[in-house]
Amino acid sequence: MKNFKTLQWIGDCDGFLELTDQRKLPAQFAAIQCKTPQQLYEAIKTLAIRGAPAIGVAAAFGICLAAQETEKLKLAEALSHIEKKADFLSKSRPTAVNLFWALERMKNKARSFSAQNPDAEVKDLKRCLLDEAQKIYNEDVEMCCKIGVNGERFIPDGSAILTHCNAGALATAGDGTALAAVFEAQRKGKKFRVYVDETRPLLQGARLTTWELRQAGIDVTLICDSMAGALMKDGKINAVFVGADRIAANGDTANKIGTYSLSVLAKAHNIPFYVAAPSSTFDLKLKNGSQIPIEQRQPQEVINYMNVQTAPQDINVYNPAFDVTPAENISAIITENGIIQQPTEEKIRKIIGQV
C-alpha separations of 213 from 26, 164, 185, 206 in Å: 12, 13, 13, 11
Long-range contacts of 33-40 (CB under 8 A, 24+ apart): 34/58, 34/62, 34/65, 35/65, 36/65, 36/69, 37/62, 37/65, 37/66, 37/69, 37/85, 37/88, 37/89, 40/65, 40/89, 40/92
Q: Determine the longest span between alpha carbons in the chain, in angstroms.
A: 69
Asked whether the beta carbons of 254 and 177 are under 8 A apart, the reply is no
CA-closest candidate to residue 343, choices 324, 355, 329: 329
Strands 239-242 vs 219-223: parallel, antiparallel or unpaired? unpaired
Q: How far is CA 28 from CA 20, 55, 89, 186, 207, in A?
A: 10, 21, 27, 26, 11
Q: Which residues are catalytic?
A: 245
Distance CA 56, CA 86 (A): 12
CA distances for 80 relative to 57, 62, 84, 114, angstroms: 21, 15, 6, 11
The type of residue at 248 is: A
Q: Which residues contact 263 (CB under 8 A, 6 or more apart)?
A: 240, 273, 325, 326, 329, 330
